[in-house]
Amino acid sequence: MCLRSIIKNRQHRAFLPLLLLAACGLMLLLLLKPAETAGNRAVLASEGLNHYEFSLVFRPEKQTLAVTMELEYTNRTGSALSELMLRTWAGAYHSQETSPAAASSLYEQCYPQGFSPGGIQLEGCWWNDMPVDAQFQDAAQTVLSVPVGVLASDEGGRLRLRCQLTIPECAHRFGHDQDTWQFGNALPILSVYQQDGWRQDPYEAIGEPFLSECANYSVTLVTPEGYACAATGRCMEKAKTADGAVRYLLKAEAVREFAFALSSGWAQASARSHGVLVSAYAAERSQASRAVQYAAKALEIYSALYGEYPYDTFSLCAAEFPFGGMEYPGLIFIGAPYFAADRKDSLELVIAHETAHQWFYGMVGSDPFNHPWQDEALCEYATLRYVRERYGAGAYENLRLLRADAPMRENIPFPLVPDSPISDFSRLDIYSSIVYGRGLAFLLAAEEMTGKMDAFLAEYCRRFAFRIASREDFELLLCAETGADLMPLLKDYLDTPL
């Protein structure tokens, strides 16, 4: 019954004050309850997460980054722990034998001047203010064991680590080339604890082994004057220090990792889109402006399809590496050649794919080592949806022929399948055809059978937001949301060699 009809009815007038009071109370609750909007959603998810504090000093003349990390850690594994395991991915760059950029298929592009060593040098490690003997567990120096005595379930402590990163002259996620310095997967990060213990996947050259859980980050970064910074999270403050350097204070909630890049040669463009500050950095301002437009449109389309983008900033920058792009929370690296004037279409598609990773990897984590299709194929599907929403059915069909149909006709080495772990791949082109292309073909086949993939992916993002979804999680929810038994289709496309 509406309020107007109650007022007209005399016998209910006595209840009007109570009804108005209840209505006011409801309105107050709605006002006080935080809405899940851009940025606010991540803040709501940040409660109870582990917290990293980083103090970073960048010294380009020495090719180093001084790192002090403090991690407030609570043991939520359900088991007593005697050690914490950190992933120190930057360590792999210390030798040609272990560097992911030194694989034969990448070497000439990543090391055009010949091999340049990088790596990590430990300077000290403390647990609850007591020094401990942290030790690398692998030759690549990417697995660091930190003894913590006996840490019971639900107990916590503070880990402090000091180290120095040497930045290789290398066009890769971590490295520098000319005036651009990239710090992707460079900072120490806690590994993921599963039933069999801490994950210790090797740093493979093909694909991305970076499994991580969401945490909160506070970062202080000091650089010489004249460097622009593109980073995960939002810049709370930028100020000059007494000695003329620049200090950035950066903060990010509920993100899987923290990455950044620096350059003395970037132009910047920014715009606000639906409450999100979108910023792009490239050699020319016109290039950056074009990238902002593409990124803002992708955020708009994916937010409508899969749920609100969870952060209040989104940045992208021109990077020196042999890939199209690389995703991080709230930040994507885009290969610098894609910004050329004659590659506008390619730039837009790369940005669309990497932006989709903010949902499929960033918001919903999965195992990129053992099930790489679970984020890459989903991002390819989202890219096709972007093209259909923006340019119509004809453009969509053309891209589908290129991205899905063509890979299904290629001759692929037996027994590789989309669900093969990344360690099984030795060539980037074959990896792309199988994981991206044939994985996409599965999702398109499921859409043709059910017509419900957008609704499923929206629920997938809602159900597993800021968590890690297993392949079984994906399968069970897919069948439940579509109302169809798609297990035979899954097996056929993802597990059966052609």
Among candidate residues 389, 296, 290, 375, the one with its CA nearest the CA of residue 339: 290
pLDDT at 314: 98
Q: 129 to each of 33, 124, 158, how far by Cα in Å? A: 39, 11, 8
Other beta carbons within 10 angstroms of residue 470's beta carbon come to 15
The pLDDT value given to residue 29: 41
pLDDT of residue 178: 82
325-328 and 331-335: which strand pairing? Answer: antiparallel
Domains along the sequence of the chain with CATH: 46-264 (2.60.40.1730), 266-357 (1.10.390.10), 365-495 (1.10.390.10)
CA distance 214 to 256: 4
- Rounded to the nearest angstrom, the gap between the alpha carbon of residue 488 and the centroid of all alpha carbons in its chain is 31
Question: Please, what sign has the CA dihedral across residues 434, 436, 441, 446?
Answer: positive
Question: Which class for 183: exposed (0-12), middle (13-18), buried (19 or more C-beta within 10 A)?
Answer: buried
Smallest CA-to-CA distance from 304 within 388, 376, 417, 239 is with: 388
| pLDDT score of 36 | 56
Q: How far is residue 86's CA from residue 67's CA, in Å, rounded to a whole number? A: 14
Per-residue pLDDT of the chain (498 residues; tens, 9 = 90+): 332 332 234 344 444 444 444 444 444 443 444 455 667 889 999 999 999 999 999 999 999 999 999 999 999 999 999 999 999 999 999 999 999 999 999 999 999 999 999 999 999 999 999 999 999 999 999 999 999 999 999 999 999 999 999 999 999 999 999 899 999 999 999 999 999 899 999 999 999 999 999 999 999 999 999 999 999 999 999 999 999 999 999 999 999 999 999 999 999 999 999 999 999 999 999 999 999 999 999 999 999 999 999 999 999 999 999 899 999 999 999 999 999 988 989 999 999 999 999 999 999 999 999 999 999 999 999 999 999 999 999 999 999 999 999 999 999 999 999 999 999 999 999 999 999 999 999 999 999 999 999 999 999 999 999 999 999 999 999 999 999 999 999 999 999 998
Residue pair 278/300 in contact (Cβ under 8 Å)? The answer is no
Q: How many other CB atoms sit within 10 Å of the CB of residue 296? A: 20
Predicted pLDDT of residue 355 = 98
Q: Give φ, ψ of 250 to 5 degrees.
A: -120, 145
The two structure tokens encoding residue 24? 């006011």
Q: Are strands 119-127 and 130-131 parallel, antiparallel or unpaired?
A: antiparallel
390: tokens are 């923006």
The CB density around residue 129, as the number of other CB atoms within 10 Å, is 8
Q: In this predicted structure, what is the pLDDT of residue 8?
A: 36
Q: Does residue 456 contact residue 481 with C-beta atoms inside 8 Å?
A: yes
